[in-house]
Amino acid sequence: MDSKIKESIKMQLENLYYFKTELDTEGILFSFSGPLSQKLLLEMGDTLRNKLTLEKATPSLTLKVFSMLVEQTQNIIHYSAEKRTPFHSKEAVSEGIIVVGYENGRYYVLCGNRIYNERVNRITNQLTKLQKMDKDELKDYYKEQRRKGPYADSQGAGLGFIEMARRSATPIEFNFQKVDDRFSFFSLKTSV
């Protein structure tokens, strides 16, 4: 084996330890980056429930964290602009990242995926509006949006964001990082 390859492998192995140490330091309990599917979501949910049981989280808190994980993963599955088709399948799967951690006495769920740049303004407007609402306003807004039905390019009238805002203990946090002329990376964080 080439000495450069050996050195690269050694560096990867050493970096993995530092990566794991950093995750632990940051309070990250669970993370996944890659192609997401409904089947994988079920497996991630089981893994997260087991991890939270080990952390001695109450059943109701575990359910809240799990609900956020499901909602955010569904968001990636339905709306990620980054799709890949596995060699053994005809159906494309969405790419993204999902993280569950603990900080300041709360669990949080953080997700990210690429979106098309033309969606940034609409999502920013939606989430900024939700950030300003209290729980009662969010409840009323949810009912109103359910009656209206889905947007042209939505699968649920933006109900996922509203539901996350309703369940989150703190206002939704979000960010966009421009990747290139076509894509931005969208990040979203909720706390329970």
CB 108 within 8 A of CB 100: yes
Task: Tell me the helices (H) and strands (E) count for the chain, helix number first.
Answer: 6, 6
Give 2's Cβ-side CA count (13 Å radius): 3
Give the pLDDT score at 93. 87
CB 82 within 8 A of CB 95: yes
**Domains of the chain and CATH, by start:** 3-191 (3.30.565.10)
Give the pLDDT score at 106. 95
Give the pLDDT score at 105. 93
pLDDT along the chain (192 residues), means of 10: 86 90 93 91 91 91 93 92 79 91 95 96 95 95 84 64 94 97 98 95
Give the pLDDT score at 141. 93
pTM to 2 decimal places: 0.86
Give the pLDDT score at 152. 59
Give the pLDDT score at 163. 92
CB 35 within 8 A of CB 89: no
